[in-house]
């Protein structure tokens, strides 16, 4: 019998990992309710899908991202992450440079300064929401910088990103929410359009100017591709990194032994960040659709079947990561896929890793201890990214 998983079941929202473990033990793929997708929880199956973009297309997501009530084209649905070759290859080549080492080196001192400022302003010795007071601030400043948006707009980014993410999960009768989301699209297009216009007139040393200047075989990005890319950056680059920092703080508050080791030896930080990415995958899903009839793990998949890859399940697969449910700072060299794999491998992965390292360094300079409030964690509702909604912590001085 086909195993089933309900995305909206309270026990799945609270803790998907025991459910993932059970599904990995089933011989076939799971049916994902209520959306009717096939769910992938095993590492080997995920690798097969990621490595075969001809058979497992990324374009099927666009239809879901553009519901009729939106009343306009969704720039996100035409961004690089929802394209197949050859268009994907061309667009990715164009934007690659904007994420290269030169761009990162240019950003590094700015990220460090943002992180130090956010850490300096952290209230110590009393309960604070770590998300609002720290985890959100660094990625928001970085995205603001990448998109060339005024710092006064940073507080809006979370709402913008939330609304874009919720476009796919808003019920047909949720008219108020739909109106809010439509307004957000208008607002974003207006601000981002102004930035594009400004950089076109007077280029600067930033990513938007790089994107405008990028050429492959004499071709530049179209207006829609540029807007799609800026929308994607906001969603892909903000919430994921916020959750990476929140998960890091959660682990550190629960494991004082790990905190002591990493604080004492900062060279362990990259290893710590990798294990957090494995143990608590910030991006929880990737979507694909089959272009022809095929079979995976004994499950027949007719052409046009939709597939949800559960990155959080894949990264705890015992077949790839022994004792996968255990956070282990000494884990050695087991290839993981928290940033996906293959042609769509996350363009922002080096940036996210850099942000996490610099943010945690700044945090350790200021704080010697992180204490939770012992209450249950309230998790967010998204199926794309997973992290705490709020994270009450008391931070002790270094």
Residues binding ligand HEM (CB under 6 A): 58, 80-81, 92, 232-233, 236-237, 240-241, 244, 282-283, 286, 311, 338-340, 344, 346-348, 351-352
Which C-beta is closer to ligand HEM: that of 340 or that of 368? 340
How far apart CA 284 and CA 19 sit, in angstroms, is: 14
CB distance 30 to 2 below 8 Å: yes
Instruction: Tell the smallest beta-carbon distance from residue 365 to ligand HEM (Å).
Output: 22
* Residue placing its CB nearer to ligand HEM in the complex, 259 or 283: 283
Least CB distance from residue 311 to ligand HEM, whole Å?
Answer: 6
> Taking the complex as a whole, how short is the minimal distance between the CB of residue 171 and ligand HEM, in angstroms?
24
Quick one: 140 or 394, whose CB is closer to ligand HEM? 140
Quick one: 55 or 178, whose CB is closer to ligand HEM? 55
DSSP 101-160: HHHHHHHHHHHHHHHHHHHHT---SSEEEHIIIIITHHHHHHHHHHHT--GGGHHHHHHH
Question: What minimum distance in Å lies between the beta carbon of 255 and ligand HEM?
Answer: 20
Q: How far is the CB of 339 from ligand HEM (least distance, A)?
A: 5
The CA distance from 355 to 132, in Å, is: 16
Distance in angstroms (rounded) separating the CA atoms of residues 83 and 283: 19
**Closest separation between CB of residue 125 and ligand HEM, Å?**
29
CB 7 within 8 A of CB 33: yes
What one-character-per-residue DSSP string does 155-172 give? HHHHHHHHHHHHGGG--T
d(CA 273, CA 241): 11
Nearest residue (CB) to ligand HEM, 26 versus 59: 59
Q: Determine the Cα–Cα distance for residues 157 and 145; give it in Å rounded to an integer.
A: 12
- What is the smallest separation between the CB atom of 195 and ligand HEM, expressed in angstroms? 15
- Tell me the residue nearest to ligand HEM as measured from the CB: 348
d(CA 285, CA 311): 5
User: Residue written as tokens 């990513």?
Assistant: 207
Nearer to ligand HEM, 103 or 259 (CB): 103
- Shortest distance, position 282 Cβ to ligand HEM, whole Å: 4
Under 8 Å between Cβ of 72 and 185:
yes
Cis check: omega of the bond before 41, within 30 degrees of 0: no
Strand partners, 392: 129
For ligand HEM, the closer of residues 99 and 185 by Cβ is 99
Question: 82 vs 178, which CB is nearer to ligand HEM?
Answer: 82
The label of the residue with tokens 């994420």 reads 99
The least distance separating ligand HEM from the CB of residue 345, rounded to whole angstroms, comes to 7
27, burial (CB in 10 Å: exposed 0-12, middle 13-18, buried 19+): exposed
Contact 62, 78 (CB under 8 A): yes
Minimum CB distance to ligand HEM smaller for 228 or for 392: 228
């Amino acid at each position: 019998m086909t195993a089933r998983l309900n995305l909206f079941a309270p026990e799945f929202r609270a803790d998907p990992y025991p459910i993932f473990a059970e599904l990995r033990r089933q011989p076939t793929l799971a049916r994902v309710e209520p959306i009717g997708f096939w769910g992938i929880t095993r590492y080997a199956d995920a690798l097969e899908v990621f490595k075969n973009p001809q058979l497992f297309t990324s374009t099927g997501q666009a239809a879901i991202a553009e519901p009729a009530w939106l009343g306009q084209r969704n720039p996100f649905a035409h961004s690089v992450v929802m394209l197949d070759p050859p268009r994907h290859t061309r667009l990715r080549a164009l934007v690659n440079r904007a994420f290269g080492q030169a761009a990162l080196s240019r950003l590094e001192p700015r990220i460090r300064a943002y992180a130090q400022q956010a850490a300096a302003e952290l209230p110590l010795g009393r309960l604070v929401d770590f998300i609002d007071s720290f985890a959100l601030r660094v990625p928001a400043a970085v995205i603001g910088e990448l998109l060339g948006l005024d710092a006064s707009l940073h507080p809006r980014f979370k709402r913008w990103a939330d609304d874009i993410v919720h476009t796919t999960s808003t019920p047909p009768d949720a008219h108020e929410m739909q109106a809010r989301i439509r307004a957000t699209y208008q607002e974003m297009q207006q601000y981002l359009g102004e930035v594009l216009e400004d950089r076109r007139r007077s280029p600067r040393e930033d990513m938007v100017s790089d994107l405008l200047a990028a050429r492959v075989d004499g071709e530049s990005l179209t207006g829609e591709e540029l807007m799609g890319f800026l929308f994607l950056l906001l969603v892909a680059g903000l919430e994921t990194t916020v959750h990476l920092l929140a998960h890091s703080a959660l682990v550190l508050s629960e494991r004082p032994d790990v905190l002591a080791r990493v604080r004492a030896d900062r060279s362990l930080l990259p290893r710590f960040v990798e294990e957090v990415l494995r143990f608590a995958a910030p991006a929880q899903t990737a979507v694909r659709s089959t272009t022809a009839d095929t079979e995976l793990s004994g499950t027949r998949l007719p052409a046009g079947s939709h597939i949800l890859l559960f990155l959080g399940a894949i990264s705890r697969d015992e077949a790839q990561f022994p004792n996968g449910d255990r956070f282990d700072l000494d884990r050695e060299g087991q290839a993981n896929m928290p940033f996906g794999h293959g042609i769509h491998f996350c363009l922002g992965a080096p940036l996210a890793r850099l942000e996490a390292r610099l943010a945690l360094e700044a945090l350790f300079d200021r704080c010697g201890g992180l204490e939770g409030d012992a209450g249950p964690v309230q998790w967010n509702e998204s199926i794309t990214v997973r992290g705490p909604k709020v994270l009450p912590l008391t931070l002790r001085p270094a």
